Amino acid sequence: MSLREMLNTIVQSVDGALAALIMAYDGIPIDEIIVEQSEFDMQLLSVEYATVLKEIKRAVDVIKMGALEEVIITTARTSVLVRILNDDLFAALILSRGGNIGKGRFMLKLKSYEVLQELS
């Protein structure tokens, strides 16, 4: 299964999913699926969140709490679920307000191994 098909499976399985992507910490997208046009610039959102994730990852490393696995950022209008894939890449699922966060977390975790296999 290709990366695009995996991302599509994730967004089709989660109510309220707007987009799913795989991105490097430097802000370079590897692949993405945008299922619903929204008022948000998904490229800008993902690049800005990549910067935030680098800082979170650095803080976790400094306090030696173990490897970062997941981050959820919820605002008044969206939720962004992030699953760390490795030291260079992460997967993110962008949900509309009221989207199914639990199912999104499950699908990202479930598909993360397959994504890594496809990337290697």
Q: What is the CATH number of the domain that holds 81?
A: 3.30.450.30
**Structure confidence by residue, pLDDT tens digits, 14-25:** 999 999 999 998
CA–CA distance, 66 with 26 (Å, rounded to integer): 22
CA–CA distance, 118 with 91 (Å, rounded to integer): 13
pLDDT at 104 over 90: yes
More confident residue, 76 or 45: 76
Q: What share of the chain is helix, strand, coil (3-state, %, to 5)?
A: 45, 30, 30
Point out which residues pair with 20 in neighbouring strands: 33, 93
Structural domain boundaries enclosing 95: 3-119
Task: Indicate the number of domains in the chain.
Answer: 1
**Structure confidence by residue, pLDDT tens digits, 62-93:** 999 899 999 999 999 899 999 999 989 999 99
CA–CA distance, 120 with 104 (Å, rounded to integer): 24
User: What pTM did the predictor assign?
Assistant: 0.90
CA–CA distance, 71 with 34 (Å, rounded to integer): 20
pLDDT at 43 over 80: no
SS3 9: helix
